[in-house]
Amino acid sequence: MSHPAAEPDIIPGSPLTVFTEEEELFRQTVASFANEQVRPLVAEMDRDQKINPGIIKQCFEMGLMGIEIPEAYGGSGGSFFMACLAVEELSRVDPSVGVIVDVQNTLVANAFLNFASEEQKKTYLPRLASEWVGAYALSEASSGSDAFALTTKAEDKGDHWLLNGRKLWITNALEAGVFIVFATVDPSAGYKGITAFIVERGFPGFSVGKKEHKLGIRASSTCELLFDNCEVPKANVLGDIGKGYKIAIMTLNEGRIGIGAQMVGLSRGSLECGIAYAKERVQFGKPIASFQGLQFQIARCAADVESARLLVYNAARLRDAGKPFLTEAAIAKLLSSEVAERVSSQVVEFYGGYGYTSDYPAEKYFRDSKIGKIYEGTSNMQLGTIAKQVIGDL
């Protein structure tokens, strides 16, 4: 995948007005890593549908896989906001790399930090911070938006649990060493039977199945998980039995902010490449960026991106401050995914015929954008959440 000769310009907006000195230094460090180490491999990883192992190794070495994990457990001891910054800057270059770091931090590590026992934290957090990719296994063929209609069952065998069933569309599954798996211990109890289990890759009866071939974020693995009398130790129940739905609700609310950060990064990266191309592409004797019609389109895209960016930042700040953020997270996820699709589509048109080819990055950003409206709660689910909050009781 070729890129414009000039390094893409950063879109308007002064990060220092919303970042602390520590956050800005962190952001710059991640941005440099993304530009220097990730960018040269983007086309290859997309073509091969696999993340380069060296990139994952560097993410661990830089502390990006355990940003919120306290230093006492081997993590970086950072904030949720910083995790979102990392996801944004990585996704600006490759949303596939961004989502690996996103799932690791906003879903898996957060679930351990908020619900694991001290013994579980000592066992798993250091490995998540240093060597193990994590995955979050909730979705099934019959339970997408209806998340708690799952059929994977957990049977109490006295000294261990037996899991049977199948999970679909599990991000990070190919690389993961540990999985948070949701199963029901009592189907008749509905959502109150849902329990979360910590499943290691080597547990008997567990296997990773088919890898999906996707439209976008192709380097990010998405696979099915198979449980055939999978033996899980009693000590590996995460949280309380029958309370898995609480873990799912809380982590997904936080995860939506992370997906918002991914979509903002994607939008920024797409627009920056589009602007650089518009400055270089000459038609009718001058750069196409000099035509007012295109300038207005660029301006509209820049306004959309900055609006989505601030929505995501606001939701992340609220979460770090311990304040309610349910509505803000839903709004940020809804609008940032819409902006990503709209901006990346517009940028394809900036490139004209070249935008429809893989010679330039526009078509990949466009392909990658579509997932934003689908995973971690579809746009309709976000609208439902927002409506309930703003309308209130009827």
Domains of the chain (ranges plus CATH)?
15-132 (1.10.540.10), 135-243 (2.40.110.10), 246-391 (1.20.140.10)
- pLDDT tens profile 336-373: 999 999 999 999 999 999 999 999 999 999 999 999 99
Average pLDDT (275-282) is 97
Size of the chain in residues: 394
Residue 110: band (very low, low, confident or very high) from pLDDT cuts 50, 70, 90: very high
State the Cα–Cα distance between residues 350 and 347, nearest whole angstrom.
5
- pLDDT tens profile 167-188: 999 999 999 999 999 999 999 9
Per-residue confidence (pLDDT) for residue 11, from 0 to 100: 45
Centroid of chain to Cα 9: 24
User: Which of 316, 312, 313, 303 lies closest to 334, judged by CA?
Assistant: 312
pLDDT at 286 over 80: yes
- Mean residue pLDDT of the chain comes to 94
* Percent over 70 (pLDDT), the chain: 96
The single residue of 89, 140, 224, 376 carrying the catalytic annotation is 376
pLDDT at 10 over 80: no
189's torsion region: left (phi>0), alpha (psi -120 to 50) or beta? alpha
State the Cα–Cα distance between residues 289 and 111, nearest whole angstrom.
46
Question: Is 30:90 a contact under the CB 8 Å cutoff?
Answer: yes
- pLDDT tens profile 189-246: 999 999 999 999 999 999 999 999 999 999 999 999 999 999 999 999 999 999 999 9
Annotated catalytic, 118? Answer: no
State the Cα–Cα distance between residues 191 and 199, nearest whole angstrom.
20
Residue 15: band (very low, low, confident or very high) from pLDDT cuts 50, 70, 90: low
pLDDT at 13 over 80: no
The tokens describing 194, both together, are 């849902």
pTM: 0.94
User: Which of 283, 317, 347 lies closest to 80, judged by CA?
Assistant: 317
